[in-house]
Chain A
């Protein structure tokens, strides 16, 4: 470990420091990403595909042009939010696996708002609020079960996912159904939609909503007393109690915030998704967004900034995958993307991974030191290691 004597502080100056010295863990995430891609490449090769061509197609599709970038970002928007669901609760010491179900509820709520007539700006806001509340309620019940009966939130949130799934099937087929086209719900009116950000793509202003939410969460967790209390409870419940922190309150708050995030994710899918702006029977636009969000959370190290970057990456994988599956004479099916994602998460779960590549670690530490020097306004008080 480098032994520099620099002024470490928390707070505004420390803010920059926090995200940058987070580079070591960030490097771990990047490494995991590389490992995941390599595993995908290996599998592709075993099955007779050309990994190089496939990845080229994927990356070009994802980041090669403005259309691709917009596509990747659009895929990433709900991921930011479902990732936050998982991460906020992880920071509070809980495992909220329920983003999927809370997401469905949020989407349904957003559609329901479509039945009302409201002026333009208000309609969008109403949709957002309604969706967030729906997600929060769905998240609250497992939280209460945990508080009152000690039910493992892992199990209860998973059960609620499945209940939500079938409830959504029912609502889409019977209650919210579009009388003209039975395989989807009604489309929400123009007034209730997020305006498109980049013409010709499906990236809407929901991007800002998601990023804004992430930034708000950052400030809440690291710059407010209640956020401090949440993090303390998650890291050391006994010490938190000693510090007068009521863990029941922090736990409840984390679940509520998580539910709000997932609900908002549902809203972005419905209100920001041309051309249908509705929920389609079988929930194809929503399926697995919750679980993918967890992968994003882990790769983003449960930090809002990391999550935004990871979400863009995962969104890129999906967007690029869609291009990849049509490219060339022997195209790789889209499902490979999911395999890569799984491999990345598996790689993330091994902390020793980093230590297994000492050469990379050396480079990484040097890079950290360099960046630290670059950003440190007061020039070196003494050399770093």
Chain B
């Protein structure tokens, strides 16, 4: 099922900047990340590299930027084949990459970070001249960052600007950006796009990795689509429709028994009949009043939040990551002590309590980072299945001895019910795929028979099948009269699943409304912190 549509926008075959031919990458554990990918890059062009998680976009660009070697295939320039042994060699050639997880030294200032990739090893750091150079660059490019502050103290958008400056200061010809807008507000995205257009005018080539269809339409000249490591589409943006791109990206739509999902023109999954009348009918499970929480560096992360979550509803919290969502979830699940406010589950206070007590009160927590919080990777499935509930009577016998028999049985039931692929309860958790790991966590949490499920980024990094499965589970829970607090940076997901949605910006809810009442533009503005007058 290969739909490769090549519409080259240049006629001359030699008029290219770089060409990747037959790039294949197989990791040491056997995963095939890329299969025979070809890509031709021209000067003065913005290419959108589109694909779902795991499609191979990051792998391809890591190969282009010298961080990884290809298993097969080659990269050639008009002057002959090129081979990069390290990111530095690629930089010297003229290819620079801005990573999704910034490659910055947190304790260094912006100037020091830039100085790191320049200059001869033993010179005394001429910070003054580096700063001068940077000031000039900032003026030219329109990017502004404080140069003397340790980078870890800067806002995420500013940090990204430091990264871009770092790469630009090396005078690159090809600039690769990996999901740059996932950490930006809509306003910052516009600023970034202005910069990119300016660079294009100057004859640079730009590859933009994204999974957002709208971005592709607004900034790119060409779109290249990857799916499961294969190149499935290479079109001029003008010729492509969002539907076409979405179909290329995802392939066959995944049918679940309950519903068929189609893409509407705006790219939103089509909702079932709105349960407007049935909203807010169940009893209040979670009640939050004037909640204020501080973040790790002392600043206010959650500011004076008040909201309720009822039984039988999915309350979604949308917003660009880094606006306090993590701290909100932590405050409600015993991982962070708030500064002030009230939060109760079924009337009982949960603030300041430790996670175990909160679980006992009927709360389940699907954490946003399954490797760091949700699982102990070296532990077996069985050992992970009791994380958080290890002291509950069914698992803990006399003298605190663990009832392994019961636990193993429990795990087998979980594996059966949630279709978790593994060799058995004794398999180490790290041997499972991401999707199965998440299913284990979800199964563990649901097995607590909770009144409310706090799900933070529940489908992040999962393959489509697993993501859909988990979304269906959440809906099923809602239909069974549970309350669900869904926090997700995936706007489409939140809009599709939630009965009510709150948009979080800088620790506050900009609005709480039904998704049907909000159009994309309003949402974008709210996410960017712009208050929208009612009725407009």
Pick out which of these stretches binds chain B: A51-59, A188-196, A223-231, A279-287.
Answer: A223-231
Give bound CA distance, A5 to B431, whole Å.
Answer: 14
B198 at the interface (CB under 8 A from A): no
Interface residues in B400-432 (C-beta closer than 8 Å to A): 400-402, 404-405, 407-408, 423-427
**What is the CA–CA distance of A14 and B365 in the complex, to the nearest angstrom?**
29
Given contacts A12-B404, A229-B390, A232-B387, contact A6 B372 (CB under 8 A): no
Interface centre among A4, A9, A236 (most CB of B within 10 A): A9
Q: Is the CB of A225 within 8 A of B423?
A: no
| Contact status B373-A242, CB under 8 Å | yes
Most chain A beta-carbon contacts within 10 A, residue among B367, B375, B379: B379
The A1-22 residues at the B interface (CB cut-off 8 A) are 4-12, 14, 17
Whether, in the assembled complex, B106 has its beta carbon less than 8 Å from a beta carbon of chain A, the answer is no
Chain A hits for B367, CB < 8 A: 242
What residues on B are CB-neighbors of A232 within 8 Å? 376, 379, 383, 387
Q: Any chain A CB within 8 A of the CB of B377?
A: yes
Q: CB within 8 A of A238: which of B333, B373, B427?
A: B373
Using known A-B contacts A8-B427, A10-B382, A243-B355, determine if residue A238 contacts B402 with beta carbons closer than 8 Å.
no
Mark contacts of A307-345 with chain B using CB atoms, 8 A cut-off: 1 yes-contact digit, 0 otherwise: 000000000000000000000000000000000000000
B390 x A225 contact (CB < 8 A): yes
The interface residues of chain A lying within 8 Å CB-to-CB of B390 are 225, 228-229, 243
Nearest CB in chain A: distance from B454 CB, A: 12
Q: Would A9 and B408 be within 8 Å (CB), given that A224-B400, A242-B388 are in contact?
A: yes
* B426: chain A residues within 8 A (beta carbon): 7-10, 14, 17
Q: Which residue of A lies closest to B431 (CB)?
A: A1
Contact B408 A246 (CB under 8 A): no
Q: Given the interface contacts A11-B408, A14-B426, does A239 sit within 8 Å of B375 by beta carbon?
A: yes
Closest CB of chain A to B335's CB: distance in Å? Answer: 6
CA distance A282 to B62 in the complex (A): 62
In the complex, what residues of A have CB within 8 A of residue B359's CB?
A: 244
Q: Given contacts A224-B401, A235-B379, A239-B387, are A9 and B373 in contact (CB under 8 A)?
A: no
- Given A241-B355, A242-B355, A242-B365, answer yes or no on A235-B376 (Cβ-Cβ < 8 Å): yes
A:23-45 near B, CB below 8 Å: none
CB distance from B328 to the nearest CB of A (A): 16
Q: How far is the CB of A348 from chain B (nearest CB, A)?
A: 19
CB distance from B345 to the nearest CB of A (A): 15
| B396 in contact (CB, < 8 A) | yes
Q: Is residue A159 within 8 Å, beta carbon to beta carbon, of the partner chain?
A: no
Q: How far is the CA of A4 from the CA of B335 in the complex (A)?
A: 39
Question: What is the CA–CA distance of A329 and B48 in the complex, to the nearest angstrom?
Answer: 80
Q: Which of A229, A231, A239 contacts B374 (CB 8 A)?
A: A239
- In the complex, which residues of chain B have a beta carbon less than 8 angstroms from the beta carbon of A4? 423
Cβ-based interface call for A240 (8 A): yes
CA distance A154 to B375 in the complex (A): 28
The residue that B354 contacts in the complex, of A6, A7, A12, A244, with Cβ under 8 A, is: A244
Do B388 and A244 touch (CB < 8 A)?
yes
Instruction: Kindly state the separation between the CA atoms of A306 and B97 in the bound complex, as whole angstroms.
Output: 48
B373:A225 contact, CB within 8 angstroms: no
Q: Does B386 reach chain A (CB closer than 8 Å)? A: yes
Which of A14, A17, A242 is close to B387, meaning CB atoms less than 8 Å apart? A242
Q: How far is the CA of A244 from the CA of B357 in the complex (A)?
A: 8
Q: How far is the CA of A232 from the CA of B385 in the complex (A)?
A: 12
Prevailing SS type, chain A contact patch: helix
Q: Which residues of chain B from 348 to 369 have any CB-CB distance to chain A below 8 Å in the complex?
A: 354-357, 359, 365, 367
Known contacts: A225-B402, A235-B376. The answer to whether A6 contacts B355 by CB under 8 A is no
B380 contacts A by Cβ under 8 Å: yes
Annotate B123-149 by CB proximity to A: 1 below 8 A, 0 otherwise.
000000000000000000000000000
Bound complex: CA A235 to CA B335 (Å): 18
Q: In the bound complex, how far is the Cα of B388 from the Cα of A174, in angstroms? A: 53
Task: State in angstroms the CA–CA spacing of A371 and B387 once bound together.
Answer: 32
A234-255 interface (Cβ within 8 A of B): 235-236, 238-244, 246
Q: Is the CB of A235 within 8 A of B378?
A: yes
List, in ascending order, chain B residues with CB within 8 A of A10's CB: 380, 382-383, 404, 407-408, 425-426
B423 and A8: CB pair below 8 A? yes
| CB < 8 Å A-B pair total | 101
The answer, yes or no, to whether B391 is at the interface (CB within 8 Å) is yes
Contact present for A225 and B400 (CB under 8 Å): yes
**Nearest chain A CB to B92 CB, angstrom units:** 31
Determine if B536 is an interface residue (Cβ-Cβ < 8 Å).
no
**B412 to A: closest C-beta gap in Å:** 9
Verify A14–B388 contact, CB threshold 8 A.
Answer: no
Contact of A8 among B356, B378, B391, B424 (CB under 8 A): B424
User: What CA separation (Å) do A233 and B376 show in the bound complex?
Assistant: 9
- Chain A residue numbers with a CB within 8 Å of B400 are 224-226
Q: CA–CA, A243 to B388, complex, Å?
A: 4
> Bound complex: CA of A239 vs CA of B395, how far in Å?
19
Tell me which of A7, A225, A235 contacts B396 (CB under 8 A). A225
Tell me the chain A residues, 184-239 only, with Cβ under 8 Å from chain B. 219, 223-226, 228-229, 231-232, 235-236, 238-239
Name the one of B357, B388, B405 contacting A11, with C-beta atoms under 8 angstroms.
B405
CA distance A333 to B379 in the complex (A): 45
Residues of B within 8 A of A244 (CB): 334, 354-357, 359, 388
Q: Which B residues are in CB contact (< 8 Å) with A228?
A: 383, 386, 390, 402
User: Which residues of chain A are near B380, meaning CB under 8 Å?
Assistant: 8, 10
> For the complex, what is the distance from the CA of A202 to the CA of B334, rounded to whole Å?
55
Q: Contacts of A229 on B, CB cut-off 8 Å?
A: 390
Given the known interface contacts A239-B372, A239-B387, A242-B355, the answer about A14 and B404 at a Cβ–Cβ threshold of 8 Å is yes
Q: B44-59: which residues lie under 8 A (CB-CB) from chain A? A: none
Central interface residue in B334, B335, B356, B408, by most chain A CB within 10 Å: B408
Q: A11-B408, A12-B404 are in contact. Are A241 and B387 (CB under 8 A)?
A: no
| Cα distance, A277 to B26, chains bound together (Å) | 65
Report how far A246 CA is from B335 CA in the complex, Å: 12
Please tell me if B399 contacts chain A, counting CB pairs below 8 Å.
Answer: yes
A224: nearest chain-B partner, CB-CB: B400
**Contacts A14-B404, A244-B334; is A239 near B373 (CB within 8 Å)?**
yes
> How distant is the Cα of A10 from the Cα of B410 in the complex, in angstroms?
12
Interface pair A224/B402, CB less than 8 Å apart: yes
Look across to chain A and name the residue whose beta carbon is closest to the beta carbon of B390. Answer: A225
Write the nearest CB–CB distance from B326 to chain A, whole angstroms.
Answer: 13
Closest 9 CB pairs of A and B: A11-B404, A244-B356, A8-B426, A8-B424, A244-B355, A243-B387, A243-B388, A224-B400, A236-B376
Please, could you name 17 A-B residue pairs with CB atoms under 8 Å apart, sorted by A?
Answer: A7-B426, A8-B425, A8-B427, A11-B404, A14-B404, A14-B426, A223-B404, A224-B399, A224-B402, A225-B400, A228-B390, A235-B376, A235-B379, A239-B373, A239-B387, A242-B355, A244-B359
Given contacts A11-B408, A240-B376, A242-B388, 15 further A-B pairs with CB under 8 A are A4-B423, A7-B424, A8-B380, A8-B423, A12-B404, A14-B426, A17-B426, A223-B401, A223-B404, A225-B400, A225-B402, A232-B376, A239-B372, A242-B333, A242-B374
Binding site for A on B (CB under 8 A): 333-335, 354-357, 359, 365, 367, 372-380, 382-383, 386-388, 390-391, 396, 399-402, 404-405, 407-408, 423-427
